Structure formats: structure tokens, C-alpha cells
Amino acid sequence: MSDFWRNTASENDKGPKVPLTWKKFLKICFHLWRQFDDPYYAGFAAQIAYFFFMASVPMMIVLTQVLGVFDISMDFIKDWLDSHLSSEMGSVLSSLFNASSTAVSNVFLILLAIWASSSLAFSLSRLTTYTLSYGRYRFNFFTERVKAIPMAILSILTIAVSLVVYVYGNLIAHQIFHSKIMSEIISNLRTPLLGLLFFAMILANYYMLPRIRVPVAAVLPGAVVATIGIMLVTWFYSLYTSRAVNYNLLYGAFSSFVVMMLWFYLISWVLCIGMMFNKSWDIHMKRGRLTPAKIKSYILDQYPLHGEEMFNKLIIGDYDMADPTLDSMAVKFSRKFDPGYEEKREREIEELKEERRIRLRIEKEIEDELQEATYIDADPESDNK
């Protein structure tokens, strides 16, 4: 296993909590900035934005089916899209929302939309786990893909409930409290409540998507930052699209898609920054919840019967290449069907094992020298000699 995980002192996990000052805030921001040196994050926002686009229309279709149970029209969403996108995109969405289908096709449509929507959760799952594991996470396509489906369902239901509260908040409050004053209060609180529900959805994604289960408090700061960031980005986006009326001159018929992708791209960056903010906050505010030793302890607690085995499967070590049991499917098939690859692979493993033996021997010699020096310093008779 890598020295990064093996030699991390657990006593450094906890320290005195420090208050948030301007200097600490600058340190958090610059640490967040330095994380973008990792090439993994360079194109990740574009990947999430692509899955946003792929999942948006199917999710809207499912919402029309779910909200139909409450007899809620999607006209207010179409009006919002028409005001922020072009009329061509609004007409496309209008025909999409107004399309009717039989009950069988509804079920098929919902399943297809959930699978498409899970692509977004799948991408976020990789981002969150990669960030928590300091870039040493070993991906597993099938496990992460299956885990993303329940989060996609939860996201769709959260959006549906949010829209129900936003549209029928007054009526619901009147039926429950039978008071005009309470109805007015609930009406004024609809927008903050909508933001609170979306905050809960972001927090749930940060907490439930990673394969490494960490405390809720460890991902809470990033969820707050992401929620505020999405609100600001949406406001600036609305301001931009209302002022920049000639953006279609550059992209022509594709202007609607380009502007929508810009919105998705900015939101994706906010989600990335929110997750990376958790680590920056934990380090500089000395919370001690996301240190390497703590991450390892979370994995061991998450899998009490075979924690070490799961840790080795989840976290990439320096000498994993020497262990054939950790070979990927591509490597296993190459061993069988790629002529000459088996011999090449075995030579690489032997070289890696030799490198590990040399490294361990050097570490042992250094450790023995340190112990000998400590023994001589502790022996008072050595000074007299």
C-alpha cells in the first residue's frame, strides 16, 4: 500500500478547531484553487454538463408523469425556459411535454429516464469518491452504476415534491392550518423552502453517492457552498440571457443548445467546487474528518468483516500491479488472448517486486540506524566511553 496511506499518523486526525477568519478563508480558497492542478478535474465539469443535458429531457418527461398525479401543469416551467432560452427550444419542449402515451409506454419511459438520469449520479459518484480518496480510488463501473440508480430516483422525487410545494403551497397550507395568515406566511416561504429542498438533495448526493461513507458533517460545508453557488450562477445566467439577446448570431440554430449547455456547465463547476471545498475546509479548519487515516478507518468500519480486503480493492497502492487478483477485466482477457502479453506482464511484475524488496530493505536499514542512534543517545554510559 502507498506510503501516503500507510504512514499517516492517526494522532493528527484531530486538533483544536479554529474559527473562520479572513486569512483562513483565503487559505481555503487557494487550497481549492491548487486542487485544480489535478488533471482529473480539468474536464470533469464538461462531463457532468454532458450528463446533465442527457438526463434533463428524460427527467422532465418523468416529471410530467409524476406531477400529473397531482394535476400540476408544467406550463410554468415552459414559461421559464421560454424566457431564458430561445423560442425554438421552448416549442420543442412544449411538444415534448404535451406528448401523450399509454400506460405501458409510461412505465417504459420512466425506466428509460431513470437510467439516463443515473448517468448524472454515476458521474457525481466518481467525482465525490475520487476527491475523498485523494485521487487514489479504484473505479468499479457496475457497482457505481447500480448505486447511482436509487439516487436518480430520489432526485426526481425531490424535484417533484419541490414543484408540488412551490405550486400548491398556498392550498396545502390552507387545508392544514385553515388560516389565511398562515397561508400567506407559507406563500412567502415557498422560495426559501424550495432552496432548502435542493440543498437537501445536494447534501444527499454528497453523502450517499461516494463508496466511502463519511459523516454528514464532513460534506455539509460543500453542500452549503454548492447550494449558494447554484443560486448565484442561475441568477447570473438569467441576467446574461436577458441582456445578451444576440448570442444566436454566433451559433445560429444551435444557440438554444449552446446556452443551455453553458448553464449546465456552470452548475457542474459549482458541484465540483462544492465537493472539493469539503476537503479544503477540513484541512484548514482542522476538523480532522477527511484525513487519509480517517478515510481508511471509515472503510474499515464500513466493511467490518473484510475491511482490509475492501480497502485494498478501493484504494490504489504503489504495488497493486504486482497482485494478479487486482487485474482489471481488460488485463485478464489480454493475458489469455493477446499473444506475448502474459510474458511481458510477468516481467513487469518481477521488476516491481524487486523494486519493492529494495525499498523495504532500505527502509529497514534506516529504521535500524534510527533505533541504534536512539539507544546510544539514551545510554548515559556511552558519553563516558
Mean pLDDT of 243-262: 66
Q: What is the mean pLDDT of the chain?
A: 75
Residue 195 CA to residue 145 CA, distance in Å, equals: 28
Mean pLDDT of all residues in 331-349:
84
Give residue-wise pLDDT tens across range 178-221: 667 766 776 777 778 777 888 888 898 899 888 888 999 999 99
CA 56, 62, 66, 71 dihedral sign is positive
Q: Are 82 and 238 in contact (CB under 8 A)?
A: no
φ, ψ of residue 315 in degrees (nearest 5)? -105, 130
Residue 151, pLDDT score = 81
- The pLDDT value given to residue 1: 44
Of 377, 358, 359, 321, the closest CA to residue 138 belongs to: 321
- Does pLDDT of 282 surpass 80? yes
From residue 272, give the alpha-carbon distance in Å to each of 12, 153, 230.
27, 21, 11
Residues forming beta bridges with residue 137, ordered by sequence position: 315
Query: CB atoms < 10 A from the CB of 62, how many?
Result: 25
C-alpha grid cell for residue 186?
407559507
Residue 297 has pLDDT above 60, yes or no: yes
| CA–CA dist 240, 236 (Å, integer) | 6
pLDDT at 102 over 50: no
Residue 228 has pLDDT above 70, yes or no: yes
Q: How far apart are CA 115 and CA 202, in angstroms?
A: 19
In the block, residue with C-alpha cell 484531530 = 14
- The pLDDT-based confidence of 383 (bands split at 50, 70, 90) is low
**What pLDDT was estimated at residue 2?**
46
Q: Which residue has the higher pLDDT, 39 or 244?
A: 39
Q: What is the pTM of this model?
A: 0.73
Q: In the predicted model, is pLDDT for residue 107 greater than 80?
A: no
Range from 150-159, 294-303, 344-353, 374-383 carrying the lowest mean pLDDT = 374-383
